[in-house]
Amino acid sequence: MISNAGEVDITGGTLPPLNEPPNATAILDNIFLNYDKRLRPLYGGGDPVRIYVSLGFLSISHVVEENMEFKGDIYMRQFWKDPRLSYGDKNWTLILQGDVLDKLWFPDTYIENAKKTTIHDDTKTVIVFGDGNVFYSVRVTVNAMNLMDFRNYPMDIQLFFFRVLSYGFDITQIRYKWIDVSLYSKDMAEFYIMNQTLSSDKVKYMIGWFDYLDVSFFVRRRIGHYVIRIFFPCILCTVVSWLPFWMDRSEIGDRGALGITTLLTEVFLLQYTNDSMPRVSYVKAADLFLIVSFAFTFMALLESVIVYNYKRRIFKVENGEVKNITGGRTFFRKRVVSLEEAHKLEPVQENGSHTNPVTETFTEELNSPLSETQTTISPWKETRDVEEKKQCPRCFESGRTKIQNYYTSFKSFLAKNDLSYFIEMSSRVFFPLTYIAFIAYFFGKYGI
């Protein structure tokens, strides 16, 4: 903070006591006689006008992520010295408002990153000290823009800054310097301000070098709203998609309906999150959370299909046919039974004769001279096998035997074991633990 702007003591950020001169009317009539507001103070003298700036922020609000803009309501205060306005004792002050301000010269100070600036004319106030020091205060509302980074959205930290400089006077004519920046309230509806920084430098434009003053606010987004509107519904939908793990494995219709409903809900959440966001090319943190939750929901639906497919069939024989009953669903599958089984299944008449057509069929097939030559071999496969045998007879026979043994063992394992039960039990543990680990990693990385 500067304790002295020009020759006016502003220690503590406040002006000294204001003392009105006894002959104010005569002073006002005289100081504008030879005054030309079209020329800056010290014009032609070679020295630049030193302007001291103080900003008071009433609020920073109306953050629109889609347009990357925000609004600031500001009291802009500027000090400079105009020797043409001196009229006596430096402790005397004249407070000017209204039409008389049209007779004064003002610096063309503006905010560079403002899309729209509204000046409240009824707040324009000028205090002229007896030694020519001028204090100018006005309230402005600025819609400013700034490039924002949404990679960590909604746990992101944004930088809001305002750049103050002259529009037409370079450093040979006007020099800017900070007094201070005051923020009356750090609380915002969606953000809270962490800290602020002041900086100053010069930049080169087409007509010369210009002084500029930057005030930067580092703000963090409040997460409570997004926990209620995004994260909690998304987690709840994902958990609901696991309910089929405790349902009947054969009820694929009910399990599938629940999984598809949760999928559509998470698609809606993803669209709702991105509706008010700019079309950025990178993945935001909220997108990552929703996509992973969507993947868990989809895998839960896929698990129901796999469990239904691998569910062990239960068979029983009725009237010479094998009846497959699974979870209330009944369908018939043809099966070749052995001769011993056929004898057990066939009905015996009173005269002791057998009338089971299955027995007759098996007897005919066993007695048929073609029973041992029913298997047909593809000519292509036969040629390939002959070539492989010629190259390495022992390798061919050994490899083929091992593959057949593995295949037979695998089929036997599937026949004896109900894989669907193992998959179902594993899913009840794997899905919740993995999802909890992801949530811990996500909020640990991005913060809350």
CB 72 within 8 A of CB 145: no
Please give the pLDDT value at position 332.
39
Please give the pLDDT value at position 336.
46
Residue 279 tokens, joined: 């079309």
Question: Tokens 């909890």 label which residue?
Answer: 436
DSSP β-bridge partners for residue 93: 129
Residue 41 to residues 7, 36, 159, 160, 178: CA-CA distances in angstroms?
Answer: 16, 10, 36, 33, 20
Please give the pLDDT value at position 327.
46
The pLDDT tens digits for 144-187 are 999 999 999 999 999 999 999 999 999 999 999 999 999 888 77
Report the alpha-carbon distance of residue 182 to residue 74 in Å, rounded. Answer: 10
Please give the pLDDT value at position 365.
44
Please give the pLDDT value at position 12.
61
Residue 285 banded pLDDT, cuts 50, 70, 90? very high
Q: Is the bond preceding 154 in cis, omega lying within 30 degrees of 0?
A: yes
Half-sphere exposure of 406 (CA within 13 A, CB side): 6
Please give the pLDDT value at position 376.
44
**Which of 316, 314, 321 lies closest to 336 in space, CA to CA?**
321
Report the alpha-carbon distance of residue 157 to residue 190 in Å, rounded. Answer: 12
The residue among 319 and 422 whose pLDDT is bigger is 422
Residue 7 banded pLDDT, cuts 50, 70, 90? low
The residue among 242 and 357 whose pLDDT is bigger is 242
How far is Cα of residue 121 from the mean position of the Cα atoms in its chain? 41
Dihedral (CA of 76, 81, 87, 88) sign: positive
Report the alpha-carbon distance of residue 86 to residue 88 in Å, rounded. Answer: 6
Residue 10 banded pLDDT, cuts 50, 70, 90? low
Per-residue pLDDT, averaged over 303-330, amounts to 59
Report the alpha-carbon distance of residue 440 to residue 447 in Å, rounded. Answer: 10
The pLDDT tens digits for 78-105 are 999 999 999 988 889 999 999 999 999 9
Sheet hosting strand 69-81, strand order edge to edge: 93-96, 114-129, 133-145, 69-81, 49-64, 174-183
**Which of 109, 257, 271, 263 lies closest to 177 in space, CA to CA?**
109
Single-letter residue type at 410: F
Report the alpha-carbon distance of residue 73 to residue 184 in Å, rounded. Answer: 11
Single-letter residue type at 281: S
Please give the pLDDT value at position 115.
93
Report the alpha-carbon distance of residue 227 to residue 271 in Å, rounded. Answer: 16
CB 185 within 8 A of CB 56: no
Write the burial class of residue 441 (CB in 10 Å: 0-12 exposed, 13-18 middle, 19+ buried): exposed
Residue 313 banded pLDDT, cuts 50, 70, 90? low
Asked which of 6-20, 140-154, 165-179, 235-249 is least confident by mean pLDDT, the reply is 6-20
**Which of 278, 271, 270, 287 lies closest to 446 in space, CA to CA?**
287
Per-residue pLDDT, averaged over 227-237, amounts to 91
Report the alpha-carbon distance of residue 164 to residue 54 in Å, rounded. Answer: 11
Per-residue pLDDT, averaged over 376-390, amounts to 50
Residue 324 tokens, joined: 């497959």
Q: Domain ranges for the chain, please list them.
A: 4-222, 225-311+431-446
Which positions ≥6 away from 5 have C-beta within 8 Å? 52, 79, 133, 179
DSSP β-bridge partners for residue 138: 76
The CATH classification number of 4-222 equals 2.70.170.10
Asked which of 155-169, 409-423, 430-444 is least confident by mean pLDDT, the reply is 409-423
User: Does residue 433 surpass a pLDDT of 90?
Assistant: yes
User: Does residue 49 surpass a pLDDT of 90?
Assistant: yes
The CATH classification number of 225-311+431-446 equals 1.20.58.390
Residue 73 tokens, joined: 């309501």
For the chain, give the mean pLDDT. Answer: 80
Report the alpha-carbon distance of residue 364 to residue 395 in Å, rounded. Answer: 39
The residue among 314 and 77 whose pLDDT is bigger is 77
Q: Given 3-state DSSP classes, what are the helix, strand and coil percentages for the chain, each rounded to the nearest 5?
A: 40, 30, 30
| pTM listed for this prediction | 0.69
Of all residues in the chain, what percent carry a pLDDT higher than 70?
74
